[in-house]
Amino acid sequence: MMIPDLPDVAQRFIRYARIDTQSDPRSSTSPSTAKQLDLARLLVQELEALGLQDVTLDDYGYVMATLPANVTLAVPTVGWIAHMDTSPDLTGTNVNPQVHLYQGGDLVLDAENGVVLSPREFPDLTQYIGQTLITTDGRTLLGADDKAGIAEIMTALAYLIAHPEIPHGRIRVAFTPDEEIGRGADHFDVARFGADFAYTVDGGELGELSFETFNAARAEITVHGRSVHPGSAKNKMINANEVAMQFHALLPAVERPEFTAGYEGFFHLTSFLGSVEEAHLHYIIRDHDRARFEARKAWLQRAAEFINARYGQPLVQVQVQDQYYNLREKIEPVMHIVDLAKAAMLACGVTPKIVPVRGGTDGARLSYMGLPTPNLFTGGHNFHGRYEYIPIPAMEKAVAVLVELVRRVAEYQP
């Protein structure tokens, strides 16, 4: 089917999506993968070509730049932030974006392997009949999380430069590494960034606006066993795998990601590696409510104490590390920045959808570092997998909202 000429934001996105920037949670470097710098260097070139000032790429892989104000009044400096890495959940190598004029029904992404994007499994597709979509080829993720955000920011910058009649204050831009593995703010220099407040462009479908995230922690459970030949193991062997399964069974089965939504938190077993002698369980713990979040961490400790008491020895050890906290606590004192985003959306014909993030963004940690940062939509769906897609009209709306937002900030009177 003939596809019309693609707008700038879609062309940028496809260009960025083809670059493999997958992050690696097992790496101890910053950025976690050198290939993220391939996109970082391209963005530096494009920012310089647009004429932005103070374009930098630091040793940790953070790209920053400035679009100077075109108004004489003292107005706040706004930050726009998106992340360059893609999720480790599915390969980001050889991403091959496909463009479809969607007419309804199934989209065959990979005929050889039977990968089909269908409204039966993904009913949101029916909203986009008649629109042009960008999808995967069924073999990789797409990377709209968050290369769509990068493309939308870059396109908005280009538009503002081409339309100097639109008033705006100073805009600071940052593209960060390693957000998908929880390290996107590790080396973010808030003082050097120099924004009064910011917005991550890292949300989902058209209209999403978020100023709440999970409280988040990771937990590593180590289980020690005793290996004895199975032929003579009676009353001697302690199978660490069995003990680990007993530990997991003490967690509430209904409080797993596949059974929760909205404001419901969860325990998520992300990996299990074991032998008779030793087993390791890795969990992520999530809850919007801080008290319930603390209770979840305590639950893990009580489960370990129960198992250890049952066996009469310290077989189970629990290590918990907090990752980030609910964004809302830091946004509530400056809710006008959310109100400005709502007004910008409405002015662009977009209905705001205030939703809690069932995850986190760089903005959660940045807000606790002194930079209040709610989250704006990109327009994408089904992130982190082969069924990921993004409607081009939603990307164009995201660009329009960014432009309208900085115009409103320049005219804002508290």
The residue-averaged pLDDT of 332-337 equals 96
The Cα–Cα gap between 319 and 165 comes to 56
Which residues are registered as beta bridge partners of 99?
Answer: 134
**Which of 354-358, 361-365, 373-377 is the most confident on average?**
373-377
What's residue 1's pLDDT?
45
Catalytic residue among 46, 152, 178, 179: 179
Number of residues that make up the chain? 414
Catalytic residue among 85, 146, 178, 396: 85
The residue-averaged pLDDT of 211-240 equals 96
Number of H helices, E strands in the chain: 10, 17
* Residue 332: active-site member: no
Structure pTM? 0.88
Residue 2 has pLDDT above 50, yes or no: no
Please list the alpha-helical segments (H only) found in 289-373.
290-311, 328-331, 336-347, 362-368
* Average pLDDT over the chain, rounded to an integer: 96
Residue 91 has pLDDT above 50, yes or no: yes
Dmax over CA atoms of the chain, in Å, equals 85
Residue 293 falls in which region: left (phi positive, over 0), alpha (psi -120 to 50) or beta: alpha
Q: Are strands 78-83 and 197-201 parallel, antiparallel or unpaired?
A: parallel
* Residue 208: active-site member: no
| Residue ranges of the binding site | 83, 145, 180, 202, 384
Q: What percent of the chain has pLDDT over 70?
A: 99
What's residue 413's pLDDT?
73
Residue 360 banded pLDDT, cuts 50, 70, 90: confident
Q: 15, exposed or middle or buried, with CB in 10 Å at 0-12, 13-18, 19+?
A: middle
| Residue ranges of the binding site for Zn(2+) | 83, 145, 180, 202, 384
Q: What is the pLDDT of residues 4-57, one digit of tens each?
A: 689 999 999 999 999 999 999 999 999 999 999 999 999 999 999 999 999 999
What's residue 3's pLDDT?
58
Please list the alpha-helical segments (H only) found in 358-413.
362-368, 392-411
Q: What is the pLDDT of residues 301-318, one digit of tens each?
A: 999 999 999 999 999 999
What's residue 73's pLDDT?
87
Q: Which domains does the chain have, with CATH numbers?
A: 8-213+326-411 (3.40.630.10), 215-324 (3.30.70.360)
Q: 281: how many CB neighbours lie within 10 A of its CB?
A: 22
Residue 230 has pLDDT above 80, yes or no: yes
Q: What percent of the chain has pLDDT over 90?
A: 94
Q: What is the pLDDT of residues 380-402, one digit of tens each?
A: 999 999 999 999 999 999 999 99
What's residue 358's pLDDT?
86
Q: What is the pLDDT of residues 141-196, one digit of tens each?
A: 999 999 999 999 999 999 999 999 999 999 999 999 999 998 999 999 999 999 99
What's residue 4's pLDDT?
60
